[in-house]
Structure 1
Amino acid sequence: MSTSTASIPTTAPSAPRFPVGALLLLSLAVFVTVTAESLPAGLLPEMVEGLQTDPLEVGLLISVWALTVIVTSIPLARLTARFDRRLVAAGALAGFALANAATALAPTYEVAVATRIAGGVAHGLFWAIVIVYATSLLAPSHLGRGLALVTAGGTVATLAGLPAGALIAQLLSWRWSFGVLAAVALALAAVIALRLPRRTPEAALPRAERPAGADASLRPIVLFAAAALVFALGQFATFTYVRPLLEVSARAPEAQVPLLLFGYGAAGLVGVVVAGPLADRWPRGSLVVVLASLAVAFGILSFAADTPLMYVALAAWGFTIGAYFPLQQSMLMRIATDRTRTLASAGVVVTFNVGIAAGPWLGDLVGGADSPTGATALSGGAVVIALVLVIAALAAGSRYAA
């Protein structure tokens, strides 16, 4: 695999050492932020009672967060583009910690909404910078493994973060769940600011010395962002209704459903682990194969959900979901230049959240809980579109990465 000098992070360390300690800190920060993003879903009964509201309004706390991320991520990424990326990440985490502490103390639902908006602002900025900062710590030969380690925090959050938050709420209070996240995030912000390496982007060239025309990496970046939107739409069109898919379409016994969901999550974690070496050795081919495999898995779930092939499809679905994000992010960071890297990361965050917001609604339109195979068929089509967009992005970015 070759990578042109245009795509290598200008602040990458010269030594090939793999910075496992720094990456684990960033992965833990990802774990904390992703857990908080959907935590109200795991604390639904306790928050309904504590805030004297109804389930719909508690659910809207997740929607408000996602909408805030969509609106603020790119402007904040551009505003902070010339600052030390370490301090931007630490500052975003500190703001995230204060917002979650405020949620823990919120006396009314209206105050909780305001604190979730503040948390979404911090979350969007953190996600816009964390991949860029992690990339700057890595030698090009370690990029796939490094980004897989960082993004693994999000997968672990799905497996362990929400259950842990729910357990704390049951033993103590839902407020303690947010409080613990706030304390951990604040500690991480301090460690990142004080112990991790400084990474300041290169100074902008004088206008007279800038290359004529738009940066050539913008076209593949836009295609990757569009693929992320369609991919997220497909994922959440079906995952929102995964229980009726298993219980109604696949006719799985109710007692077997938690085990199937655990297997799905475990396969996702395996996907994250495997994605690192794949992204470093065969980044382009691996990304294409993962998307093609996911399309096949959704096809099986659409037309043969009540056969033993369902178990294979469910495992393949989990594996590919875990592998996709680190594979795409490592490819995106190889293709983007120093001028476009922050915009690329923020853009994918925004489009992915748009897909998250639209996916459940579209899944419901084509069947939802009553006919989940309609949602899986929609998801399969969405993944095929994402595959076409990724192939186009890889072709457009071939001058930067092989």
Structure 2
Amino acid sequence: MSTSTASVPTTATSAPRFPLGALLLLSLAVFVTVTAESLPAGLLPEMVAGLQTDPLGVGLLISVWALTVIVTSIPLARLTARFDRRLVAAGALAAFAVANAATALAPTYEVAVATRIAAGVAHGLFWAIVIVYATSLLAPSHLGRGLALVTAGGTVATLAGLPAGALIAQLLSWRWSFGVLALVAFALAAAIAIRLPRRTPEPALPRAERPTGADASLLPIVLFAAAALVFALAQFGTFTYVRPLLEVAAGAPAAQIPVLLFGYGAAGLLGVVAAGPLADRWPRASLVVALAGLAAAFGILSVAADTPLMYVALAVWGLTIGAYFPLQQSMLMRIATDRTRTLASAGTVVTFNVGIAAGPWLGDLVGGAAHPTGATALSAGAVLIALALVVAALLTATPRRLA
């Protein structure tokens, strides 16, 4: 396979127009998958009663999903690497729809666990391929904006998907929440398979013509993957305890908490919107500034949460969280070669989920709900480590891939 240093696949150069419709379909699919990932947290009392379990059992439905993604994403990405990426994405979504329909019909807790594992497998494969597929639809000048639009579905899921799922559960049943997601996912799978263009990887070169030695993009990809792990650890090490952080450390009135959380989410959406043009014009500087800003925000929350600076820090936190993922993904796709692009996407999914799994545990060790500023201090240090890893990745990447 070619080791060309082109910043995006060659197929993108033949389609200079911004493929808005295709990207919106992919963004909606991201919205559905991210909503389902954490939906049990929004349906906690209903699922406890319906599955005759306890809150810990419902929480494990999220944990087992993350563990499944960690274990299966890279093997499945490698297994499907030679297939049309459009059909892989559509097939993963169709399997995801079936698994969520099975969760909606699960008669027992044990069956629900099995269906969540199946959904996690499909989710991991979809996330391993969706950024690669979206990149193949984009011209180089549109890469940042295009990937920001696709990943915006995840931010909107936090703002609207979980509240919508909780509302459906209250009006009808928690089973309907999963059932609606299944129906939407199946419709999106069909639309992607029918309406979006084929993207089949280039055939492998004859053995005699294949390049020898490691791909030059592997080191920066590994460094970016490590940064994603530490970044997720920082985010979930503090966000898990955001309520006590605002109520105990900041002393915010209970009535103000929903407003503060909404402001945080709105800032995150603004970060996604800003990330697109920033990633296209100043990709390296924007990523570094975002991480530096996030470290500063966590630092302020650690030492001055009970001052008006808390509002500034909360807004910067949301803004940088929203911007980080599209900024990093667009940078990864610029750095990676044809040989490593799928690995880069899948590897980031895996390490990010490791950080999600470890973050709440480490946050609890340093203070948790009782002393949330201990978690913010941990997060500030972790973001500084992520920043160092990103800088190292940028310094080791071939400059031509960052054009």
Q: Specify the TM-score bucket, using the shorter chain as the normaliser.
A: over 0.9
1:186 aligns with 2:169: no
Partner of 2:36: 36
The CA distance in 1 between the partners of 2:146 and 2:188, in whole Å, is 19
Question: Is the CA contact (8 Å cut-off) linking 2:155 and 2:268 kept in structure 1?
Answer: yes
Question: Is the CA contact (8 Å cut-off) linking 1:233 and 1:358 kept in structure 2?
Answer: yes
Matches within 5 A, 1:381-400: 381-399=381-399, 400=401
Shift of 1:5: 4.4
CA deviation digits over 1:207-262, x for unaligned, max 9? 21111101100000000000000000000000000000000000111100100000
Shift of 1:81: 0.3
Partner of 1:233: 233
CA deviation digits over 1:322-369, x for unaligned, max 9? 000000000000000011000000000000000000000000000000
Question: Is the CA contact (8 Å cut-off) linking 1:10 and 1:202 kept in structure 2?
Answer: no
1:100 aligns with 2:100: yes
Partner of 2:209: 209
The CA distance in 2 between the partners of 1:226 and 1:24, in whole Å, is 29
The CA distance in 2 between the partners of 1:13 and 1:49, in whole Å, is 54
Percent identical pairs in the alignment equals: 89
Partner of 1:119: 119
1:295 aligns with 2:290: no
Change over 3 Å in CA distance of 1:312–1:253 after alignment to 2? same
The CA distance in 2 between the partners of 1:205 and 1:226, in whole Å, is 31
Question: Is the CA contact (8 Å cut-off) linking 1:10 and 1:338 kept in structure 2?
Answer: no
CA deviation digits over 1:270-300, x for unaligned, max 9? 0000000000000000000000000000000
Ranges in structure 1 where 5+ consecutive residues have no aligned partner: none
Question: Is the CA contact (8 Å cut-off) linking 1:148 and 1:273 kept in structure 2?
Answer: yes
Partner of 1:152: 152
Question: Is the CA contact (8 Å cut-off) linking 2:272 and 2:326 kept in structure 1?
Answer: yes
The CA distance in 1 between the partners of 2:197 and 2:347, in whole Å, is 25
Question: Is the CA contact (8 Å cut-off) linking 1:63 and 1:357 kept in structure 2?
Answer: yes
1:401 aligns with 2:385: no
The CA distance in 2 between the partners of 1:191 and 1:6, in whole Å, is 30
The one-letter amino acid paired with 1:281 is R
User: Which secondary structure state, in structure 2, belongs to the residue aligned with residue 216 of structure 1?
Assistant: coil
User: Which secondary structure state, in structure 2, belongs to the residue aligned with residue 12 of structure 1?
Assistant: helix
Compute the TM-score of the two structures, normalised by the length of structure 1.
0.98
Partner of 1:46: 46
Question: Is the CA contact (8 Å cut-off) linking 1:7 and 1:338 kept in structure 2?
Answer: no
Matches within 5 A, 1:2-401: 5-399=5-399, 400-401=401-402
The CA distance in 1 between the partners of 2:210 and 2:395, in whole Å, is 25
The CA distance in 2 between the partners of 1:367 and 1:288, in whole Å, is 28
CA-atom RMSD in angstroms: 0.8
The CA distance in 1 between the partners of 2:344 and 2:91, in whole Å, is 20
The CA distance in 1 between the partners of 2:107 and 2:15, in whole Å, is 51
The one-letter amino acid paired with 2:256 is Q
CA deviation digits over 1:87-107, x for unaligned, max 9? 000000000000000000000
The CA distance in 2 between the partners of 1:131 and 1:349, in whole Å, is 11
Question: Is the CA contact (8 Å cut-off) linking 1:300 and 1:309 kept in structure 2?
Answer: yes
Runs (4+) off by over 2 Å: 4-8
Shift of 1:398: 3.6
Shift of 1:12: 1.4
Question: Is the CA contact (8 Å cut-off) linking 1:93 and 1:185 kept in structure 2?
Answer: yes
The CA distance in 1 between the partners of 2:15 and 2:84, in whole Å, is 21
CA deviation digits over 1:363-388, x for unaligned, max 9? 00000000000000000000000000
CA deviation digits over 1:160-201, x for unaligned, max 9? 000000000000000000000000000000000001000001
